[in-house]
Structure 1
Amino acid sequence: MGIKNSRLEALKMIISSMEMGSQEEVLRALEREGFKLTQATLSRDLKQLKVAKAASMNGKYVYVLPNETMYKRVSTPRSAMEMLQVSGFLSINFSGNMGVIKTRPGYASSIAYNIDNSDNPYILGTIAGDDTIFIVIKQGVREEDVIDALRNAIPNIA
């Protein structure tokens, strides 16, 4: 994973797990994770991720990721690097040419993105929610072949 991609993943984890109201707060959090960048670079990253500000439960305006204005924040967040070390994958089940992947909350879209960009010859596409991914599999493909092919996108798949 390149430096920019690592930084963007760390930024997503930070915004998802902590209430940050200013770019200065976000810059300090990224610095604690080992990323030293300018306010201008942060601003471009926030724009690329389509980060917005929304009112939190206490009325304070904080950064949120798209479609996550009601994201469940944890009371004692781990560092972004710790979160990046842990895969969000929980399980996969099949029915015909469909599959459902269960993930930890907040992980489905990034795992689905990895699946969609892995050039998997057996999967036609994905739809991701917060903790669930729906996959459509080509007709006649064995479940074992799908799981083997998913290992590139989901390293700890069974």
Structure 2
Amino acid sequence: MSNSIRRQAILRLVRDRAISTQSELVDALREEGHDVVQTTISRDVHELGLTKVRAPSGRLVYAAPGADDADRFRAIGVAIRRYATRVEHAGPLVVLTTPSGYASALAQAIDEGGHPGIAGTIAGDNTIFVAPREGTTSRSLSSELGEHLTRI
């Protein structure tokens, strides 16, 4: 297998999965039929410039350098689908509801996502208040965030 094919597979895997260690990356590549050893993956990780970022779950995972806004917004959508049960606008705020204990993880994912229309979040146990930035209405933001709940 060529370096190029293996490295393309690595970039796809770290984009599509939460991979935290080189060992997990080796296992994922082997599952796909790539015959690799940890020392080769260590060199690939270095040469590809992979970095560790905090995933919505709180785990540090590999990410390609220079992840763009689309990747960050996709991460917000994934976290909303995973944790949120309801999204609604309430006056100047957007309110997201989660099962008990999940609001903090979702709020962190939203904050890390860097959405240009969101100034910040406040999380309780199962409720998050999202403050829209000036120029963004709570109605339009709740509609945008709520669309993630209907996507599969």
- TM-score normalized by structure 2? 0.44
The higher radius of gyration belongs to 2
Which one has the bigger helix percentage?
A: 2
- TM-score normalized by structure 1? 0.43
